[in-house]
Amino acid sequence: MNWDQIEGKWKRFRGSARERWGKVTSNNWETLAGKKDQLAGRIQEEYGVVKAKAEERADGRALAQKGSDRESQAATRL
């Protein structure tokens, strides 16, 4: 779990609380703001997941590239 996901979860939690407060006080603007915060949190959580997967793939490819570079250098030495 990275910080983007943690921040996304926090936004969802905050949005849920804000939406409930809007319902308790019959404040439609606060309810809508809470729903908006929840949506932003969900998007950020998903972005964090996608970002983490992209970084893992990039790291994997970099390691694979280093391995193939070493093999080619060893072959040229022979």
The per-residue pLDDT for range 40-73, each reduced to its tens digit, is 888 888 887 787 777 777 777 777 766 665 555 5
Instruction: At 20, list the tokens.
Output: 């409930």
Residue 74 CA, chain-centre distance (Å), reads 40
Instruction: At 19, list the tokens.
Output: 């939406």
Say what the pLDDT of residue 68 is: 63
Say what the pLDDT of residue 53 is: 77
The per-residue pLDDT for range 3-22, each reduced to its tens digit, is 888 888 988 999 999 999 99
The number of beta carbons lying within 10 Å of the beta carbon of residue 75 is 8
Q: Give 25's pLDDT tier (boundaries 50, 70, 90).
A: very high
Instruction: At 47, list the tokens.
Output: 């972005």
Say what the pLDDT of residue 24 is: 92
